């Protein structure tokens, strides 16, 4: 599935694909995200895991993603805990983490930024708005932003 250059080094050269880890327990939201990214101008590989423990296991594997999209409300280890672990790990903290959550709570937004989230996006309930949200996310994070080298 993945045609990225293997390696555990932060200096592994990036290939033409951008690797994205989506930590999302909603199969509907994961599939919508996959479809929008499939249609995107930037070639990307999307890896989907359904809980925080699986997300951390993926991140600690040999191939690290270029970007993490993280839901907050996950079964088991929730997104808040996952974010804190990512940003406290010297091998992972450079990976941008975008919170993609339905929570509008100010305390969730504040806590995410306090734990060094790179962005907080509230998932819209409306299907068309959700698709547009992912398109904007794709345009900014995959086309405009220069991601750190692996």
pLDDT, tens digit, 9 for 90 and up, residues 60-119: 997 899 999 999 999 999 999 999 999 999 999 999 999 999 999 999 999 999 999 999
Domain annotation covers residue 77: yes
List of E strands, the chain: 18-23, 44-49, 67-70, 97-101, 119-122
Predicted pLDDT at 86: 98
pTM, two decimals, is 0.86
- Residue 108: which H helix or E strand, with range? helix 106-114
Domain annotation covers residue 4: no
Is 1 a residue whose pLDDT tops 80? no
Domain annotation covers residue 64: yes
Give the separation between CA 122 and CA 48, rounded to whole angstroms. 19
Residue 109 tokens, joined: 């937004």
Predicted pLDDT at 16: 66
Helix axis angle, 79-88 to 106-114, nearest 10°: 20
Domain annotation covers residue 100: yes
Q: Determine phi and psi for 72, rounding to 5 degrees.
A: -85, -40
Domain tally, the chain: 1
Interior angle at CA 45, CA 38 and CA 23, nearest 5: 100
Domain annotation covers residue 43: yes
Domain annotation covers residue 148: no
Q: What is the pLDDT of residues 16-38, one digit of tens each?
A: 689 999 999 999 999 999 988 88
Residue 7 tokens, joined: 């390696």
List 69's β-bridge partners, or say none: 22, 98
- Residue 129: which H helix or E strand, with range? helix 127-138
Predicted pLDDT at 105: 95
* Contact between residue 104 and residue 97 where contact means Cβ atoms under 8 Å apart: no
Give the separation between CA 66 and CA 45, rounded to whole angstroms. 10
Residue 71 belongs to domain spanning: 18-143
Domain of 85: which CATH number? Answer: 3.40.50.2300
Domain annotation covers residue 96: yes
Q: For the chain, give the longest Cα–Cα distance.
A: 40
């Amino acid at each position: 599935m993945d045609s990225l250059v293997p390696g555990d080094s932060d200096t592994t050269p990036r290939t033409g694909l951008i690797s994205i880890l989506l930590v999302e327990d909603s199969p509907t939201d994961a599939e919508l995200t996959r479809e929008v990214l499939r249609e995107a101008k930037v070639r990307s590989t999307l890896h989907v895991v359904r809980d925080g423990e699986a997300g951390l296991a993926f991140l600690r594997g040999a191939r690290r993603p270029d970007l993490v999209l993280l839901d907050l409300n996950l079964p088991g280890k929730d997104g808040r805990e996952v974010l804190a672990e990512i940003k406290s790990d010297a091998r992972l903290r450079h990976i941008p983490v975008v919170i993609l959550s339905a929570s509008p709570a100010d305390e969730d937004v504040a806590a995410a930024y306090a734990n060094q989230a790179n962005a907080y996006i509230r998932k819209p309930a409306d299907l068309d708005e959700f698709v547009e949200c992912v398109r904007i996310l794709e345009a900014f994070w995959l086309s405009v932003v220069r991601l750190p080298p692996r």
